[in-house]
Amino acid sequence: MEIKIPLVKPYFDEDELTEIKNVLESGWVSQGPKVKEFENKIKAYLGVKYAIAVTNCTSALHLSLLGLGIKEGDEVLVADYTFPATGHAVLYCRAKPVFIDINPKTYNINPSLIKSKITAKTKAIIPVHTFGQPAEMDEIMGIAQKHDLIVIEDAVCALGAKYKNKYAGTIGDIGCFSFHARKGINTGEGGLVVTNNKNLAEKIRNLAVFGMKTAWEREINNKFIIPEFTEVGYNYKMSDITAAVGVAQFKKLERIIKQKQKLAQYWDEKLEEIEFIQPPYVNNDALHIYQA
């Protein structure tokens, strides 16, 4: 008999149904108050000043690169063990992704290999916190500061993970998260950008909504506002229906992380019983959340 062990099973209950029902009954189903609530919850949890909810982490990465001014002719250093979206986001800006090999113990970008790939065209580094174990951010940030490079954390798998007691996604200039169905908390599809830079946050928020202020911002303003399209933007906004699932899921985040860690410990113990298999390495400086 063949037994399949799934990478992950999304966990939903009545909370999600209640939140979605409330949004549908409100009549405001595109980006509105529920998205703002979801952003505020993640923002408070991570201890950052700004959070922008978007359609997925690919759009989060794309917007981050655009907001930081990455353009044609620029080079961006990217971990080579990652989902293609990390490199694709660089290509969307007509820039060049330059791939850096990983540390085979952690599957994260190897800081010792970064310097040799830096050129006059290098503008940014995108470390990926693979499988929920944060990259070695102290070394990465040190290199970035020395060479005046931007750091965009691909924290697609790492909401709740920590590096030396700092949340993944909050250490670099900007962090990008995913709420895909296989992530720690999920909204089916969804993403988020976080930063402490006000100007950058405003630029990314505008770019995510066609280069204008959102409909909800106009709705809650006491004055009638005619939309102004200040620059070429994208339709990357998260809907309130999606955010409703996110709000319900967020309540379960710590519980889900603890359950994943418990399962990881179980499998580590089982793997230790097999002579030719070594359990996955965990960096002592990291809080691993074991994300598939």
Q: What is the pLDDT of residues 219-238, one digit of tens each?
A: 556 676 667 777 788 999 99
pTM here is: 0.92
* Confidence band, pLDDT 50/70/90 cuts, at residue 213: low
* CATH domain 14-287 topology: Aspartate Aminotransferase; domain 2 (3.40.640)
List the catalytic residues: 183
Q: In the chain, what are the helix, strand and coil shares in percent, each to the nearest 5?
A: 40, 15, 45
pLDDT at 216: 53
The dihedral through the CA atoms of 201, 205, 206, 210 has a sign that is positive
DSSP state of 235: B
* Confidence band, pLDDT 50/70/90 cuts, at residue 258: very high
pLDDT at 214: 63
Beta-carbon neighbour count of residue 264 at 10 Å? 17
Q: Which residues contact 218 (CB under 8 A, 6 or more apart)?
A: 225, 227
Residue ranges of domains in the chain: 14-287
Beta-carbon neighbour count of residue 251 at 10 Å? 14
The amino acid at 24: L
pLDDT at 252: 96
Question: What does the pLDDT average to over 140-166?
Answer: 98
